[in-house]
Chains A and B, each alone.
Chain A
């Protein structure tokens, strides 16, 4: 259908996607063929090498539940300590570790991985495909999450957990005021875990945009996919400021490079800006997938379709954009100018509008249909009550004068639990009870789930409703004793007692899940009579999801009608005739079939790479910085091996997708999924760079003036060095466009020249980074650019190796397209850095 060497242009929008039906086959035979190809290996080794999205999605969610339990135990310890006014239960430093870990575990080790897991598990089923775009990356994300979480937990067990609050404000968290490895555990551990967040964000973006079933237009896909797309884009832009801030603070703690130290040109507020630039989008990242789950469940519970699909999509997009403009509302008391106070107050109030649009659309859907009180509906009602109240207190906190009284009191603690438990935990409980039959194939035991719901509802509101008053009576956050304030005792005691009720409720909920999975009776297929593709398969879901990919004919029907046809191979790309994992890649807008992607099989490489990154992290924690640098070498080598796994091998001929359609394999098309993934990653990387530039601008312009020492650089030499770097990289970006061996070799050479010039500049012209923030930032930017040049050189070497092996020809690009994109990005950040730092020199 398409010539493999030219980029495929999507046909006119008017032409609908049509695919002829494949001949019917024996469903059982197809199932066996697919299972042989797609299943995990046996035993423990199978668990280690699994890359399948169903396995990994469940693993993410299961691990997240365990961390929820641990975080919950920590909250019990907090409430026990606070039940009386001078509790002798915990000493102060231990208490500080416990509340820091409670927040950090719940935010980083429970909420984010839980929603990642739900997305990874559910999206391929909803979209009509067989796996996520990058299965090995999914596995890498899981191992990084697990290892990072274990590092933090181990620190807690040894009494050296982070103890400066989950948002780690400087200067309290710097080396002077928090000596010891506690803060480093947070900085390194959380950054390690965030590898999984960025990986999941890249993958989810690519899967939603390019793997939908043929004919499933972007404007018609299930709402959960829109929510996850918004979430993943927010993650790509929201996490890098945190990563940037964490890297800077770790550099300050480990090497004394000042970024947040006011005595050396730094600013404690820079940390707060970087943190909250992440922190505010973070809570919407947590809310959106939960809202997505509800947008799927409510219509089914009400036997109707969602009201206001278009308005909801608009609301999602509005939330995605608006949520990046609110972060300063966490900083209303730091002394920012009045105009800024007014602006961020208005923006924070405005963000309630898209949220309200969704809430009323859901209620309107319930009015439109006939709500049935199945167990998921209980949790949805719990959401409505709790989240609406939490949203209202949020609007109150957006009003500056009130914020100045309520900030940093128990009122905020009450608000955040209302929106997080109301807006995330209740919907996740609805999702768990709704999708558990698809996971387990079993039916639940009636009664226990409803009882658990009521106990949770009572326990939650008993604990946190009264906490609003506690805060208004002046009780601040993060204190362990309050001997001078007996008027707070009955309030805290009430909260503590009900918190135990809440815990019992959660335990009952988990027990209900366990009983369903172990003792439940077999459930019939499609128990909810839902219209979406996730139920158009046997339950529990098979490792390959669909024996054949749904086509427009299947999309028009309910799951019940489509399932048999799909199981018999009448959809596209039936079975696994060549013994390899194949899925269909379609166009972004109309989902026109584009090519067939071949996915990797089971491998232990993700575990190996994650473990080697873990070694680096542990060496950094141990203060062995030279060894830690050396530990990056095996990491680089494993990344090379990983890339080798993507090289073209085996049968590269066109694949028969439908009787009237043969499509090329992904090695022979542009853009491949990998290329889209790299673009998504560069959005995150670019945001990291912008965060660094923000730091430069902030410290130059906003921070109360601190005169930097005279720079030791000689103007002419530095200018020549910078010029050489700029020219070499600009040439490299241009040369890389030519797909020949010689051009790539030249690109490699130019990168090495630039790198050498940068190293010369760094060691002979740049000042000691520990002197002043200006010098420290220059060093960081130089390091960032240098790493990118090094990576570009390595990529060029990889492509040369591919030429040597004969893997690149007129039809097959290999890693060339990736090199071009990366080189362009490297050149751009280098040129911008030169300009920005040059401007800083000229203007100072």
Chain B
């Protein structure tokens, strides 16, 4: 295909993957790792689907002499095991990279309730600052979020930064997120929690300076989120 044609094809496809809540437009290393894993798995799935369809097409026609074990053991057992082991290995490897760990990362808190979020971070004086539906985090470093719930199960999710983690009453869950660049990112509740679930949204503001100075209306560290 010619370069312009490829470009014409790619642009709408790439545009189709865009959006403030898109997992395919990662803005941080964790979301990027997962997105890469997705593209690899998609490629594999396409190949396997085509392979099975080709086998089906070839099945039509005169009867053939077949070796039962080639199908049941060769394909069914070994072919599957090899592919599945590879994908499992990739998943475990990526999983290890994205988990929270004890490395002194900045910690913030997210408290979910029907139907909103109360976030807490520590400012320069060591005081806890609470914000409604807006989470402040530092940019360019991992942040661990401690997630709790007031009432029913909710879920904390910022798709451009990381995977989701549920907010369960009676428990504190911990997840790690990271934004590459300062800016605003969108988040949502991802566990059905009643009438207000659809509108239970929040935003994340990543700052170059940490702890952030929220007293002025200074926009120097509040640029547009990375595409």
- With A267-B170, A308-B72, A484-B201 as contacts: A393 and B192 at CB distance below 8 Å: no
Q: Are A352 and B80 in contact (CB under 8 A)?
A: yes
Stretch at the interface among B14-22, B118-126, B215-223: B14-22
- With A171-B152, A402-B37 as contacts: A473 and B173 at CB distance below 8 Å: no
Per a CB cutoff under 8 Å, which of B19, B72, B152 touches A364?
Answer: B72
Q: Complex formed: what's the CA distance from A479 to B68 in Å?
A: 48
Contact with A along B76-104 (1 / 0, CB 8 A): 11011100100110111011001100000
Q: Are B34 and A405 in contact (CB under 8 A)?
A: yes
Known: A363-B59, A366-B59, A408-B190. 12 other contacts (CB 8 A): A267-B170, A269-B168, A335-B171, A349-B84, A352-B84, A356-B75, A360-B71, A361-B72, A369-B63, A370-B63, A407-B163, A474-B21
- With A171-B152, A469-B16 as contacts: A399 and B66 at CB distance below 8 Å: no
- Total interface residues on B, CB under 8 Å, equals 83
For A388, what are the chain B residues with a Cβ–Cβ distance below 8 Å?
48-49, 52
Per a CB cutoff under 8 Å, which of B56, B59, B95 touches A401?
Answer: B95
Q: Are A474 and B92 in contact (CB under 8 A)?
A: no
B210 within 8 A of A: no
- With A352-B84, A358-B76, A395-B84 as contacts: A389 and B49 at CB distance below 8 Å: yes
Q: How far is the CB of A486 from chain B (nearest CB, A)?
A: 9
Contact with B along A474-493 (1 / 0, CB 8 A): 11111111101101100000
26 A-B residue pairings within 8 Å (CB atoms): A92-B198, A164-B194, A169-B192, A263-B170, A267-B170, A307-B66, A338-B99, A349-B84, A357-B72, A366-B56, A366-B60, A367-B59, A371-B59, A392-B48, A392-B49, A395-B84, A403-B163, A404-B163, A405-B163, A405-B164, A409-B190, A474-B188, A476-B157, A479-B197, A481-B199, A485-B19
List residues 5-46 of chain B with CB under 8 A from any CB of chain A.
16-24, 31, 33-34, 37-38, 41, 45
Stretch at the interface among A110-118, A339-347, A584-592: A339-347
Q: Complex formed: what's the CA distance from A396 to B41 in Å?
A: 7
Residue of A nearest to B173 (CB): A335
For B23, what are the chain A residues with a Cβ–Cβ distance below 8 Å?
405-406, 472-474
A719 within 8 A of B: no
- With A262-B169, A395-B84, A399-B90 as contacts: A357 and B77 at CB distance below 8 Å: yes
Residue of B nearest to A481 (CB): B198
Q: Complex formed: what's the CA distance from A273 to B186 in Å?
A: 31
Per a CB cutoff under 8 Å, which of A341, A360, A475, A476 touches B75?
Answer: A360
B193 within 8 A of A: yes
Q: Complex formed: what's the CA distance from A361 to B72 in Å?
A: 6
Q: Are A370 and B62 in contact (CB under 8 A)?
A: yes
Q: Complex formed: what's the CA distance from A488 to B198 in Å?
A: 14
- Total interface residues on A, CB under 8 Å, equals 86
Q: Are B41 and A482 in contact (CB under 8 A)?
A: no
A385 within 8 A of B: yes
For A396, what are the chain B residues with a Cβ–Cβ distance below 8 Å?
38, 41, 45
Chain A-chain B contacts (Cβ-Cβ < 8 Å), number: 248
Q: How far is the CB of A4 from chain B (nearest CB, A)?
A: 45
Q: Complex formed: what's the CA distance from A422 to B22 in Å?
A: 28
For A370, what are the chain B residues with a Cβ–Cβ distance below 8 Å?
61-63
- With A333-B166, A395-B84 as contacts: A480 and B63 at CB distance below 8 Å: no
For A267, what are the chain B residues with a Cβ–Cβ distance below 8 Å?
170
For B94, what are the chain A residues with a Cβ–Cβ distance below 8 Å?
401
For A478, what are the chain B residues with a Cβ–Cβ distance below 8 Å?
192, 197
Interface of A is mostly: helix
B interface list, Cβ under 8 A from A:
16-24, 31, 33-34, 37-38, 41, 45, 48-49, 52-53, 55-56, 58-66, 68, 70-73, 75-77, 79-81, 84, 87-88, 90-92, 94-95, 98-99, 114, 151-153, 155, 157, 159, 162-166, 168-171, 173-174, 186, 188-195, 197-199, 201
Residue of B nearest to A350 (CB): B84
Residue of B nearest to A366 (CB): B59
Q: How far is the CB of A41 from chain B (nearest CB, A)?
A: 49
